[in-house]
Homo-oligomer: A and B are copies of this chain.
Amino acid sequence: MALTPKTLPIPSTKTIHLSATSTEYDIHIGQGLLSTLHPRLQKLAGGKSYRPFLITSPNIWKLWSKQVRASFPEAESPTVLFLPPGEKHKRLPAVESLAEQLAQHGADRDSILIAFGGGVLGDITGFLAAIYMRGIPYVQIPTTLLAQVDSSVGGKTGVNLAAGKNLIGSFHHPRAVFADIALLKTLPPLELRSGLQESIKAGIIADPKLFAYLEQNNELIANGDPEALTKVVTASIKVKANVVAKDERESGLRMTLNFGHTLGHAIEAATGYKKLLHGEAVAWGSIAALHVALARKVIDPDTFARMANLILSYGPLPRFKATASDLVALTSSDKKTRSGRRAFVLPTGIGSTEIVYDVTDEELTAAAESMLQTMRATGVKPS
């Protein structure tokens, strides 16, 4: 293929410094970062001795253990603890089991946890680090696109209850994030495309250049070109890091990251968190949110079309079964709702948003209905 990336001059290796109220740390993005893991951790530990505990899933470890081990001198190899893959293991018993293993291995406040996996593994490991001995350090090595552009940055950690997703958790920032683009080579293509929806979100809410780059390099990006992905990941993380730096605890600005998520979460709930990947649900949720913005004339039809087309161009997106009113009913349990008011994020142009609190159930139902029409026309059978 002779395609080459078109604009967005971001160097292929990059460090983003996140400085928030309670902490600051570096996010490193590049290809082959894994090979320099050991010296980077040593630097983080400031020369003091530290004991690394790497937490991962067997499937990921099978693919990447050689590269990780190669970075460490034999004697300083991390102790590896395992968690089965899958959202259904993101629960407190998994945290307890890992904590007992840490204690049995004598882990203490001079240890450092390494989260090596996707968002599920990162959320669990971060939470484990938050509550083991009332908090020990950890780093994130996100291995999915979603984890690289979203979940590994920002310090939200936690697990699910039977009663709902992410209802248990802590804010606990990593000491560093290492986003190695090479890891995405083994990621199933659907996971890659689904994760890219969060990058599209970043473009829509805060970065017109990223938006244009995603528009212009669709084929390269969706096929996993490492150079192109490096640029997309870097720009997406910048959006997230900026927002987190300004609003660490989600009292205002950070809510803009929920663009597309109000109905996205409703779609996930309506389909039992099984049929759609998170990014796919967010994609449909975003289209519904765009319809609210269009109906309110907050964006013009051209902007609407560009945004909706960008989302759909990283599809095909899967069909699902739910009525508009089902979905709207499910948004009322969204935990972003406080005191009955539903915060809703609307794009006001490419790269800008507003948060409104007065979207009515009727408006939302109409927007969901329009989204469902698009789904019936373009949606494919879920794989």
A131–B123 alpha-carbon span in the complex (Å): 13
Rounded to whole Å, the gap between the CB of A89 and the closest CB of chain B is 14
Provide the A64-93 mask, 1 if CB < 8 A to any CB of B, else 0. 000000000000000000000000000111
Question: Is there a chain B Cβ closer than 8 Å to A339's Cβ?
Answer: yes
Closest to A128 in B: B168
9 contacts between A and B (CB under 8 A): A92-B92, A92-B96, A93-B96, A99-B161, A103-B163, A108-B338, A133-B335, A134-B169, A135-B171
Question: Is there a chain B Cβ closer than 8 Å to A156's Cβ?
Answer: yes
Interface of A is mostly: mixed
Question: Is there a chain B Cβ closer than 8 Å to A158's Cβ?
Answer: yes
Rounded to whole Å, the gap between the CB of A357 and the closest CB of chain B is 16
Closest to A134 in B: B169
Q: Given the known inter-chain contacts A110-B339, A170-B170, A335-B108, please indicate yes or no for A100 contacting B162, CB distance below 8 A.
A: yes
Closest to A96 in B: B92
Question: Is there a chain B Cβ closer than 8 Å to A109's Cβ?
Answer: yes
Number of interface residues of A (CB under 8 A): 32
Question: Is there a chain B Cβ closer than 8 Å to A237's Cβ?
Answer: no
Q: Given the known inter-chain contacts A92-B92, A96-B92, please indicate yes or no for A131 contacting B170, CB distance below 8 A.
A: yes
| Count of this chain's copies in the oligomeric assembly | 2
* Neighbouring B residues of A133 by C-beta, 8 Å: 167, 169, 335
Question: Is there a chain B Cβ closer than 8 Å to A104's Cβ?
Answer: yes
Closest to A105 in B: B163
A85–B91 alpha-carbon span in the complex (Å): 25
Select A168's contact among B132, B158, B162, B167, beta carbons within 8 Å: B132
Select A99's contact among B168, B171, B338, beta carbons within 8 Å: B168
Rounded to whole Å, the gap between the CB of A257 and the closest CB of chain B is 15
Rounded to whole Å, the gap between the CB of A53 and the closest CB of chain B is 14
Question: Is there a chain B Cβ closer than 8 Å to A130's Cβ?
Answer: yes
